[in-house]
Structure 1
Amino acid sequence: MPPPPKPSRHATRGLKSIVEVGPVVSLATRARELDQLDRQLRATLPAPMRDQIRFADLRDGRLVFLAPSSAWASRVRLYQTQILEAARAIGAKAHSVAVKVAPLPPEEVIPDRHKPLSTEAARHLRSAAASLSDPTLRDLFLYLALQAENED
């Protein structure tokens, strides 16, 4: 792959395209390379392990993997010879494997945005609407109260 174009220091007016920002281009290139290496290396492993671990980095000849627990880290270490052979077969210059335990972040639970209003809430909305002088706001409060009553 040809090296990314060097950004010009003279063209400083207006917005730059992201492909003109050297550090971003090199970071994106590195991320693509690591992602490809991750897919290739994990494809050589048994299915349960392949789904649990992630390849993190190749630095100074050391392949670094992330495992969600020490049990999975131990399993990766058992396969280090196979991993190194696979890495060399795809052209990665690696001589050792390191595994770090890094639990996967918990999945984000998206709360249910639709929570029904209680009958008591509808009563309070009607009461508040009666005290409002702004007709638009009063209609909105009554609309909300009606929604609460219709859900019951």
Structure 2
Amino acid sequence: MPDSRPRSRKKATGPTRAPLDALLDGPGGDPMRRALWLDDLDGRLRPFLPDGLAAHARFANIDRGRLVFVVDAPIWQAKLRLAIPELLQAARSLGLSADDVVIRTSPGTTADPRKVKAPRPMSAASQQALQAALASLRDLD
């Protein structure tokens, strides 16, 4: 008589994949790949920003040929406007078809990771939930 018990859906082959690899392969992979690509472009365009501006501006997106930058104060928006020709030329040299730059101001946004505030400690309930989630992932191995 065949065994009618439900079978586990665990995969028994291979070591545990890195979380980022698993995320990129899943349904959320496309937005993650785009975010990583935009972060890479930010790193490539940053050297073309004028001195002092790189800590206050961040490349955020490219939309229909427009480079979108976010700065943390209006003064940096004005300084970034002066660098538009060089930024467009740099973007084109990277293979982007860019013909305009959009600059958004978002107070509190910083491109300098040294200026990011430390996260608040987790509550006891959050810690317990995180431990339970991690334990359930370990059970899948």
Report the TM-score when normalising by structure 2.
0.61
86 and 25 in structure 1: CA distance in 2 versus 1, 3 angstrom threshold: same
Number of residue pairs the alignment of both structures matches:
98
Query: Is 1:74 aligned to residue 78 of structure 2?
Result: yes
Uncovered stretches (5+) of structure 1, i.e. residues with no partner = 1-12, 112-152
Uncovered stretches (5+) of structure 2, i.e. residues with no partner = 1-7, 12-21, 110-114, 121-141
Report which structure shows greater RCO (CA 8 Å, sep ≥6): 2
Question: Match for residue 34 of structure 1?
Answer: 38
The CA deviation at 1:110 is 6.8
CA distance, structure 2, for counterparts of residue 100 and residue 77 of structure 1: 11
Question: Match for residue 117 of structure 2?
Answer: 108
Q: Which amino acid aligns with 1:78?
A: L
39 and 15 in structure 1: CA distance in 2 versus 1, 3 angstrom threshold: farther
CA distance, structure 2, for counterparts of residue 59 and residue 110 of structure 1: 31
28 and 77 in structure 1: CA distance in 2 versus 1, 3 angstrom threshold: same
CA distance, structure 2, for counterparts of residue 20 and residue 35 of structure 1: 19
More helix by share: 1
Q: Highest Rg: 1 or 2?
A: 1
Question: Match for residue 63 of structure 1?
Answer: 67
